[in-house]
Structure formats: structure tokens, C-alpha cells
Structure 1
Amino acid sequence: MMPRFLRHALTIARRDFTATVMTPTFLLFLLSPLLMIGFGVIGGLSGQAASSASEARQQIVAIAPLGQHDALRAGDRELRSVFTRDSVRPRLRLEQPQADPARQARALFDADASEVAAVLYGPLDRPMVLRRAGAEAEGRYLAALAAQTLRAEQAGGIRSTPRFETIRREAPTVSGRGQAAYFSTFAIFLVTLMLSGQAVGAMAEERSNKVIEILAAAVPLESVFFGKLLGAFGSALLFVAFWGTLVANLPRLLPGDAAGMLSSLSVAVGPIFPLLLVGYFVMAYLLQSAVFLGVGALASTQREIQMLSLPITIFQFAMFGMASYAAGNPGSWVATAAEIVPFSSPMAMAARAANAPELWPHALAFVWQALWVAGTLTIAARLFRRGVLKSGSPKRGKKAVA
């Protein structure tokens, strides 16, 4: 038979889980990341459209005899193959020289039809490059284009024909482990930040409706807090399972190059890493939700909730910053401190699992974090009992009034 404390907590957890999940609002919450992704995509496409429109008007101009135009175009194609996008440098325009090439080049900057970033004129071995302020890279590109074209002419049109082969590294790399450590830290922080705040509103609502006082009269207050924590965790686990399944199948939908970049991520502990990552997410969520439960229990209005939640959120960002530094600098004193501080420990230890192969520190970390979860819940329950229910034990040293 289960202890009475656990039976009471599971009853409260089942009540809260059903009340949260079996509502249309939870479906909207479950799909809320799609809205965030949609707004991000729309904003990105809008910015890209504005940037593309600006890039389309940009040009670089080479004033050269007609006989050099083909060689300049060939050199431009070779140089652009170095960049990942053809639009990294503005489009090249070729013009034939007039009576005064210097005056012709300067007049191009004042034309309304296009926006000229840089102009090259003169012999290719001693070219003159004019560039607009802020277009130093475009000017250097035209100088490199002149040198490339001159080398091709001196070689008599002979060009090398390279062959390319993609090699996949079998052994894990240090950079791959570092990237996996940072992604793990960021994932735990982001999901915890999104989900842990639910406990505040639920507790504050039931306090304003006097439901929490009815529950506290029926079962021990610690069971109420622990049950609400389990109920909130159940809905959070459903959210994580839904989106985790989608993310796990994402590499199948990505192009080969993108999937290859994901495969370069590696972890030091091996196949047990997903279990450790889930365990540290559970601990991070329980720790943060326990704190927010205490805030929701002590705050009587939404204004007080907002005022108390803001410092906690700032504290969460500070813990994430420390854990992120630990992910990039394993073995440093900051990493050790982040692994010990309870509210940054889940994120820092997830990063350690990616960077170091030892498993015994994770067992100690889980015990340490579980103790802090229990302590935080106990403190929150006692503060609620003394500050709200006014049912604390009498202070010592006071004599009873006859």
C-alpha cells in the first residue's frame, strides 16, 4: 500500500492533470510553438524580402574593353563559387570605356537607375577602384577579380578542374561535443521557461477561489503542493513528448547537407545521453515549478504575481548564462559552480554529459537536485501555511495569556 502522503498527492495530481489537459485551451497551448514558428518565419521572410530588394539594386561595375568581358565574367563566376550564396557580392555589370574612363566611373555613382557600390577601370595590372563609403568589401572584390582575370590571361586560358568528395568523420569531435552541450542547455532552459510558469496561475486562481484552503483542510498541505507539482509536470511531459517526437523525426525531412550537420553532433557519455537529458529536464522543471508554486501561493493578485515572477525569470536567465558558459568551458571554476548551484545544475550537468564520459557525477547530481526539490516544496508549503492560512505553530518564548 502506498503511503498516505503519496496517495493524497496523486489524487491532487490527477485532478489538476485532468483539469488542465481535458480542455480546448490545452490544445492551443500544445500548438502554441507553431504560432511562434509562424511569426518567426513571416518576420524572416519579410526581412529577407526587404534585404533582397535592396541587394537587387546594388551593382559593381567593371569598365573594360569588349575583348576582356568574357574573361571578367569567367573570373566572376569562379570567385562567386567560393561564397555560399551568389548574392553575397552585388551583381557585376560590364561597360566599355568612353573617352574619359575616370569621369565615366564617377558618374556611375550618381545614376538613379541603380545603386553602384564600386567601380573598376584602367588596365588590369594597375586598376583603379572607386568605392562608396561602407563598400570596402566590394572594392576588394573588384581588385581580386582583376587579379584573377589577369592570371587567367597569362595562363593562356588553362584552368584547373577540381573534383570534390564529401568525407564524414567517424570519431566524435570536440566542437561537436561543445555544440551538443550548448543545445542541451538551451533546450532545457527554453522548455522549462515555457512550461514552469503554468504553476503560478493555477495556484493563484485556486487561492482566489478558496479551493486551496478546502484542499488544505482535507489533506496535508505538503501533499497538495506535491500533487499540484506532479499534475503540472504531467501536462508538461505530454507537451514535451509531442514536440520531442516531431523533433526526433525532423532529420528525415531535412536535406542531406543539413542532416549531415546534425550528425556531426556528438556526446561523451554515449547512448545513455537521452535518458540523462530527460532526467535533467525533469529536475529543472520540478525546481522551477516548485518556486513558482510558492510564488502563486503567496501572491494574492495578478499584479503581485507579475512583480514576483519577473525577478525569478531574470534569475533563470542568469542561471542559463552560467550554464552556457559551463557548456563552452568544461572543467573551469564557473562550470563547477554551475554544477553545484541547484537551479543551474540540471543545465550544467546536461552539458557535462555531452563533454565528459564519467557517469558517477550524474548520480550525485540527481540526488542533490531531488533534495532541493523537496526542500523548496516544504518551504513553500510552510510559508503558505504561516502567511496565508495563519495556522503556524506559536512562536517559542511567548507565554499564554490567561
Structure 2
Amino acid sequence: MRKILKVAQREYIETVKTKTFLLSVFLTPLLVGIMLLFVGRFDGGVGGPQPPRTITVLDLSEQVAEPLTAVAAEYNASRPDRQIRFDVLEPPENPDVRIEDLKQQVRRGEIDALVVIDHDVLDDGDGARYYSFARTVADLEMYEKVYRLINEAVVTRRFEAQGVSPEIVSRLQRSIPVEQIDLSSKVEAQRDMPVMILVPFIFVFLMFTGVFGVGQGMLTSVIEEKSSRVMELLLSAVTPFQLMSGKILGLVGAGMTLMAIWGAGAYLVGAAMVVSDVVSAAMMLYFLVYFVLGFLVVSSLMAAVGAACNTLKEAQGLMAPLTVGLVVPMAAWFYIAQHPNGTFAIALSFIPPITPMVMVIRLAADPELAAGQIAATIGLLVVSVPAVMWASAKIFRTGILMYGKPASIRELARWIRYR
């Protein structure tokens, strides 16, 4: 045990004093903070100031253009940083030819978008068409705004046709503010929904960075020591199992140091942003437990891969399945956060290498997640850790002093069966 701790101490010190580790301590929280600031400022990324947009309007009914211009003026008065201007054209003698010409102008980028209002739009016979060449999310968002403004203009004209004052109807239909209060928190408070949506991503991002990023240090360390023949000197003083265990323990310590710094910052920020029921002490404890167990699994696998290869390039092939697996929760985080108790999320929760990442997404999305599932996934990891470490130790023992051609998956399986 003393030798394992000695190796762990060396690995810990060598890891925490690297520039990569020191930069990750500060840069990762900085990136997360920028994301939160961006979301809070732009309300999901598309709500910020935008240059004025000009929409060309061809009103074949000759009745909607006037109220459309009026409702657009009201809209622009309330949103000076997101102006929408309607350029109303005279109805042409040959509408089809004129429309085709305008569509070509949209394709060439000469006009932002084209709205064609049909003849019988007030009588429910026809509608309107919106032509655009979407290049950004803002272009797609513009359709929703134009859609609402056109419908408001049509409704206004219909009221006028029936002799009803649109101002009276507008006053009667005036909406009231509805404040959203979340009772799942211990303190009743308004929620910043864009930030709440981003919380699960922040947790899985930190988990991925910690487990995969710090775990990569194991792979790099083993390959470098093996290729420089330092490994032979180390094995003259310790056994392969002691060396692997010490390396894993040292990196776990480095990872926990990183998580402690990030966790303290996340808890303080969560309390300040009124999401303390999600970024709670219990959530941070779960995060730490899943991180340690997940890191033990992943770092053991990386130690085995490093022992079986001679260079980082050779290791890429064996690492591909693990890398792809770890990316799955990152790619599916939004769906999992939207359906934390769905079949897909539950199924992924019981695949050991990605269990920690999936569970932190689910817990961040639903702090009241079933205790049975939490206990079951932690139990699965507790059982998986010694099994994976045992298999990795068998590979590590056999491959650590082997040079030349890298081992295949079949050879690794054969090494595990060696006594």
C-alpha cells in the first residue's frame, strides 16, 4: 500500500503542476460563465439586438398593407433594437411574373424576404406566402414575427369591415402578466428559464471535461513512460498492479481537486442565480460520487489502452469506441434533460462508462429523480469499478513491457484470460 501511495503522490504532483491542469482550473469556469452571460443577455441566443430587416410585401388583396404597416410601427416602437420594415409594392398587372422575379431577388440576397398576400385573404379563401432564403437562426425566427404581424393586420381589417373598432377589441383582449413561480425550490422565486435549460449541459460538460480530460492524462503518461523506457525502471521497484493503481489514485486526487474548485464556484453561482435547488449541496455530492466512480472506470480503461500501445497515434484506434461512447451523452444532453425519466435516458443510465454523465444530466433536469434509480446506478458503478480494474490490470501487466505492433481487441481479450 505504501508503494501505491508513493506512486499516487508522484502522479498527483506531476499532474497538478502542468500548464494544462492550471489552465483548466480557470478557463473552464470562464467558458461556463461566458455561456451563462450569453444566454442571460440574448435569451437563448437569438433575442439580442439585430440590424433592421426589410420585408417586401406584395398585397394582391389591396386591403392588408395599410394595417400591416400600422402594426409594424407599433412593434418597432416597442423593439427599437429589432426593427422590421415593410416595403409595400403596387399590385402588378401580371402577378405571377412579378412574384417569380421577386423570388429570384430573395435568392440573390437583394431583399431579405418576400410576403405575398392573396386576393381573398379576408374571406378565409386564401392566405399569404412568406419567401425567404434562411441563412441563420435569426432568419428562421423572422418568419414567426412576420406571421404574427400579418395575422394581426388581417384581424384588424376584418373588425373594421364589421364596423367594430379594433382599439376596443385590442383593449378587451389585452393580456396580463403571469409571473412564473417555481414551487420545487425551497424559496419561491422566479426562474431564468434559459439558464435553467443550460444547467444540465453545464453539469455534463464539467463531468466530461473532468473524466475524459483528466483521464487522458493516464493514457499520455503511460505511453510516454513506456516509450522512454522509464516504465522499466519503475517496474523494478513496484509491481504492474501497484503502478497502475497508484497512477489511477493520483489522477483521482487531481480530478477531485479540480471538481472541488469547480463545485464550490458552481454552488456559489447557483445560489446567486436562484437555481440553488438544482446546484444544491446534494447535487454536488451526487456529482462527486459519480465523478469518482466514473473516473475510476474510464482511467482504468485508458491505462489498459496505454499499456497496449507504443504511441498516441496507435492508441487512437483502441480509444475510438470509448470516445464515441462518452460523446453520446454530450450529443443527447438536451433530449435527456427534456425527458429525464424517459426510456432512452433510463437505458443509457445503466451503461457503466457513460452512467455518470447521463445521471448528472437527469439529476440537474429533475432534482426529485427516483432514489431507487440513483441507488441502482451507483451500485452498478461500484460493481463495475473492480471488474474493470481487474481486466485492465491483466492487460496492463501483459502489455506494459511489450513493444512493436500494437495489440488488437482480440489480443486484449486473450490477455485478460491469462492467469
TM-score tier by shorter-chain length is 0.5 to 0.7
Q: Contact (CA 8 Å) 2:210, 2:258: kept in 1 or not?
A: no
- Paired residue for 1:233? 252
SS in 2 for 1:217: coil
Give the alignment partner of residue 316 of structure 1, picking from 323, 326, 330. Answer: 326
Judged with a 3 Å threshold, the aligned counterparts in structure 2 of structure 1 residues 155 and 250 are, in CA distance, closer, same or farther, namely: farther
Give yes or no for the alignment of 1:386 onto 2:398.
Answer: yes
Judged with a 3 Å threshold, the aligned counterparts in structure 2 of structure 1 residues 180 and 92 are, in CA distance, closer, same or farther, namely: same
Structure 2: give runs of 5+ residues left out of the alignment. Answer: 135-142, 186-192, 403-414
Give the alignment partner of residue 163 of structure 1, picking from 176, 183, 190. Answer: 176
1:54-101 per-residue CA deviation (whole Å, 9 max, x = no partner) reads x75641326699999774334235678999x956xx532346x58969
Q: Aligned partners of 2:3 and 2:259: how far apart in 1?
A: 26
Give yes or no for the alignment of 1:272 onto 2:279.
Answer: no
Q: Contact (CA 8 Å) 2:72, 2:149: kept in 1 or not?
A: no
Q: Contact (CA 8 Å) 1:177, 1:355: kept in 2 or not?
A: no
Q: Contact (CA 8 Å) 1:62, 1:94: kept in 2 or not?
A: yes
1:224-254 per-residue CA deviation (whole Å, 9 max, x = no partner) reads 111111222222233333334444444578x
How many pairs align? 367
- Paired residue for 2:151? 144
Which TM-score applies when normalising by structure 1? 0.68
The Cα shift of 1:147 comes to 1.3
Give the alignment partner of residue 240 of structure 2, picking from 221, 237, 245. Answer: 221
Larger radius of gyration: 1
Give yes or no for the alignment of 1:75 onto 2:71.
Answer: yes
- Paired residue for 1:399? none
Q: Contact (CA 8 Å) 1:185, 1:350: kept in 2 or not?
A: yes
Give yes or no for the alignment of 1:212 onto 2:224.
Answer: no
SS in 1 for 2:313: helix
Judged with a 3 Å threshold, the aligned counterparts in structure 2 of structure 1 residues 20 and 332 are, in CA distance, closer, same or farther, namely: closer
Judged with a 3 Å threshold, the aligned counterparts in structure 2 of structure 1 residues 350 and 30 are, in CA distance, closer, same or farther, namely: closer
Structure 1: give runs of 5+ residues left out of the alignment. Answer: 254-258, 397-402
Give yes or no for the alignment of 1:201 onto 2:210.
Answer: no
Q: Which has the larger displacement, 289-298 or 208-217?
A: 208-217
The Cα shift of 1:19 comes to 1.4
- Paired residue for 2:11? 16
Q: Contact (CA 8 Å) 1:13, 1:230: kept in 2 or not?
A: yes
Q: Aligned partners of 2:361 and 2:18: how far apart in 1?
A: 36
Q: Aligned partners of 1:67 and 1:332: how far apart in 2?
A: 50
Judged with a 3 Å threshold, the aligned counterparts in structure 2 of structure 1 residues 82 and 348 are, in CA distance, closer, same or farther, namely: farther
Give the alignment partner of residue 93 of structure 1, picking from 87, 97, 103. Answer: 87
- Paired residue for 1:28? 23
Identity among equivalent positions (%) equals: 22
The Cα shift of 1:107 comes to 9.6
1:241-252 equivalent positions in 2, closer than 5 A: 241-250=260-269
Q: Contact (CA 8 Å) 2:61, 2:120: kept in 1 or not?
A: no
Q: Aligned partners of 1:323 and 1:251: how far apart in 2?
A: 20
1:275-314 equivalent positions in 2, closer than 5 A: 275-314=285-324
Which TM-score applies when normalising by structure 2? 0.66
Q: Aligned partners of 2:230 and 2:392: how far apart in 1?
A: 17
Give yes or no for the alignment of 1:117 onto 2:114.
Answer: yes
Q: Aligned partners of 2:152 and 2:97: how far apart in 1?
A: 20
Q: Aligned partners of 1:98 and 1:121: how far apart in 2?
A: 11
SS in 1 for 2:176: coil
Give yes or no for the alignment of 1:60 onto 2:72.
Answer: no
The one-letter code of the counterpart of 1:59 is I
Q: Contact (CA 8 Å) 1:9, 1:224: kept in 2 or not?
A: yes
Q: Contact (CA 8 Å) 1:188, 1:284: kept in 2 or not?
A: no
The one-letter code of the counterpart of 1:155 is V
The Cα shift of 1:203 comes to 1.0
Give yes or no for the alignment of 1:192 onto 2:211.
Answer: yes
Judged with a 3 Å threshold, the aligned counterparts in structure 2 of structure 1 residues 148 and 81 are, in CA distance, closer, same or farther, namely: farther
Q: Contact (CA 8 Å) 2:201, 2:334: kept in 1 or not?
A: yes
Q: Contact (CA 8 Å) 1:213, 1:389: kept in 2 or not?
A: yes
The Cα shift of 1:163 comes to 3.4
The Cα shift of 1:12 comes to 1.0
